[in-house]
Amino acid sequence: PAIVALALYSQLPIIRNTYIALKNVDPATIEAGKGMGMTYFQLLIQLQLPLSAPIIMAGVRTAVVMGIAIAAIAAYIGAGGLGLFVSEGLEMSTNNSVIAGAIAMSCLAIVADIFLAKVEDWVTPTGLKVKQATK
């Protein structure tokens, strides 16, 4: 039951960001694709999705980090996981267990966010990447 709730709860940022990203693709770019004879499917796969990739991946990153945070709460309904350290530590008043669980969940969320940032960079078309100024 907890995994179903987490999966459903995580859908909002992904779906919302995907919708917003696809809706905000420059109409002139879509019109140019149509002018070159692209079909609707080709426009979606070759034009709209690559241009929308950074925003879609931002939604995925948000959903994953939210899912990790909410998974901690799942321990209170008997689902176990890293939240078990925190909930048992609070019940038994052992700060070490609470801190260990909080650090583990934080590290997991940070590692997941860094990994997905790399994936986001990988799926972002080269022309959309912002060049960082070198000193």
Find the CATH number of the domain harbouring 56. 1.10.3720.10
Residue 135 predicted with pLDDT over 60:
no
Residue 133 within a domain: no
Range of the domain at 49: 2-125
pLDDT digits (tens, 9 = 90+) for 64-93: 999 888 888 877 777 777 777 777 777 788
**Rg (alpha carbons) of the chain, rounded to whole number:** 20
Q: What is the mean pLDDT of residues 26-49?
A: 93
The reply to whether 132 falls in a domain is: no
The pTM assigned to this predicted structure is 0.79
Q: Does 134 map to a domain?
A: no
Q: Are 14 and 56 in contact (CB under 8 A)?
A: yes
Contact 51, 29 (CB under 8 A): yes
Is 45 a domain residue?
yes
Number of independent structural domains in the chain: 1
Whether 135 maps to a domain, the answer reads no
Nearest by Cα to 126 from 58, 56, 59, 51: 51
**Average pLDDT over the chain, rounded to whole?**
86
